[in-house]
Amino acid sequence: MKWFSSAARALLALSCVVDSAKALDLDPTNQDQVKSVAKKVAAHLVSLYIKDPSKPSTPQNVLSTKPGTLPYGTPDKYYWWLAGGMFGTLIDYWYYTGDSTYNQIVIDGIQAQIGAKKNFLPDDWAFDIGNDDQLFWAFAVMSAAELGFPNPPDDKPGWLELAQSVMNQMIRHLDTDTPACGGGIRWQNNPLKGGWDYKNMAANGGTVQLGFRLAKYTGNQTYADYAIKIYDWLDKSPLITKDYTVNDGTDVQKKCIDADQNQWTYNYGLMVSASAYGYVYTKDEIWKTRLNGFLNSTARWFSDETKGIMFERCERTDIPRTVMCNGDQFSFKAYFTRWLTVAIQLVPDQNILDLVVPRLQKNAKAAARVCTDAAVCGSQWYLDSFDNRNNVGSQMSALAIITSNLYKIAPKQVTASDGGTSKGNPATGTDPPEEEIKFRPLTTGDRAGAAIVTLMVTVLLFGGAFWLVTGE
């Protein structure tokens, strides 16, 4: 995780100061008002990606100049995966509100990043992409299939096929040998990458969730078998505790004995939603027990200190208007919210509704309160006004919590046998992996580094030769 320096935070705060005297007024029980506020929030989110949403997603119109990606050079440094998360949030926005304004932007953006092998490993980014990065794009396309989002053109891979592709890759990356802790999936997909020895919740819990979603949509038991296999490994690992605490990851070099106990909202959301999908597909009560266990454990994100308002661990709740989050972490509450809402849609038991719905309502109102009247939204929902910090992640999170309150009027999820029309191909993503990861072109910095290394080696060689000749 990359953290901002205090100087960078101060500069960003100064650059983002806007009139915060007014805020968005929201009654989360008023559906028309929720849609109206969500429309404003969505518009600002899209403006952080594209100049004119009414025009095609050309390099000239996309702020990053690369369709399907966010501008990396901003203070928050938006990495490749975050655009997949954003498109998933916009798919949810369409699903809850019926507003199709941004559908073509989403279709074009996703298709621009699928890669030559339809595996979400585009050449420009492939060496930097981890297993969990691919999964967030898979979550977006799986939502597109489940929610009946408009399909791409017939000559393009369907949403289902793209989700199947990522699942097949995760299955191939599954470790089964004893030195690799007897199972699970690594954070990275290549031993040359930093993080190869880390097995994280995002990659493993994400694959459990995706596997059950694919099983539910297609009826193919094999996907569920792998989801169960990975969950069983998680259950024996330090990533999940007996009280349903969800830790971030564990180190292969240390034999996965201890966990990185950093905790994040979205990891809890992953396990809540994975359990809900697992219960719906298998009808096994063990998954409902797990669902309730993980839901009860989410109470830590709605603390008394914040008066029940959701917070992320990188938000300094003890120092008002101080945030230590990086560009990735601002978006975590968006996924957490999405998956809490999925749980009440899939398993609408009264005890689950009683726990989740009041939180969605209270937090939607709080999130709107820290948006300006121009729908520029902050991240610290427990404050009384805009916190002078806005970016893609904070805007996604606000949009997610606001639209979640439309869950009652949202149509049910579809499947291949019940209303679903997304094209699939269970073989996509099973190609041999040897050419999947291509090294990016050398940069000036790379060449400079190579020159320094060459100079050092030369000095050592000549110094060694001098010592051999002189004996000194």
**pLDDT tens across 378-397, in order?**
999 999 999 998 999 999 99
Assess if residue 167 is contained within a domain.
yes
Q: How far apart are CA 453 and CA 293, in angstroms?
A: 53
Q: How far apart are CA 398 and CA 35, in angstroms?
A: 13
Q: How far apart are CA 21 and CA 376, in angstroms?
A: 13
**pLDDT tens across 172-206, in order?**
999 988 889 999 999 999 899 999 999 999 999 99
Sort 154 into a burial class: Cβ within 10 Å, 0-12 / 13-18 / 19+: exposed
Q: How far apart are CA 25 and CA 213, in angstroms?
A: 36
Is 265's pLDDT higher than 90?
yes
Q: How many C-beta neighbours within 10 Å does residue 64 have?
A: 17
Residue 304 belongs to domain with CATH number: 1.50.10.20
Is 122's pLDDT higher than 70?
yes
Q: Determine the average pLDDT of the residues in 75-103.
A: 96
CA 254, chain centre distance (Å): 27
Assess if residue 309 is contained within a domain.
yes
**pLDDT confidence band for 74 (50 / 70 / 90):** confident
Look up residue 160 and give its amino acid: L
**pLDDT tens across 12-71, in order?**
333 344 444 488 999 999 999 999 999 999 999 999 999 999 999 999 999 999 999 999
In the chain, how many domains are there? Answer: 1
Range of the domain at 392: 23-441
Assess if residue 6 is contained within a domain.
no
**Which residues, in sequence order, are bridge partners of residue 315?**
323
Do 103 and 150 form a contact (C-beta atoms < 8 A)?
Answer: yes
Assess if residue 5 is contained within a domain.
no
Q: How many C-beta neighbours within 10 Å does residue 268 have?
A: 26
Phi, psi torsion values for 415, nearest 5 degrees: -135, 175
Assess if residue 371 is contained within a domain.
yes
Tokens at 96, concatenated: 């809850």
Q: Determine the average pLDDT of the residues in 310-334.
A: 88
Assess if residue 392 is contained within a domain.
yes
**pLDDT confidence band for 302 (50 / 70 / 90):** very high
Assess if residue 187 is contained within a domain.
yes
Report in angstroms the alpha-carbon separations of 207 from 134, 257, 290, 337, 449.
Answer: 10, 22, 17, 19, 37
Assess if residue 270 is contained within a domain.
yes
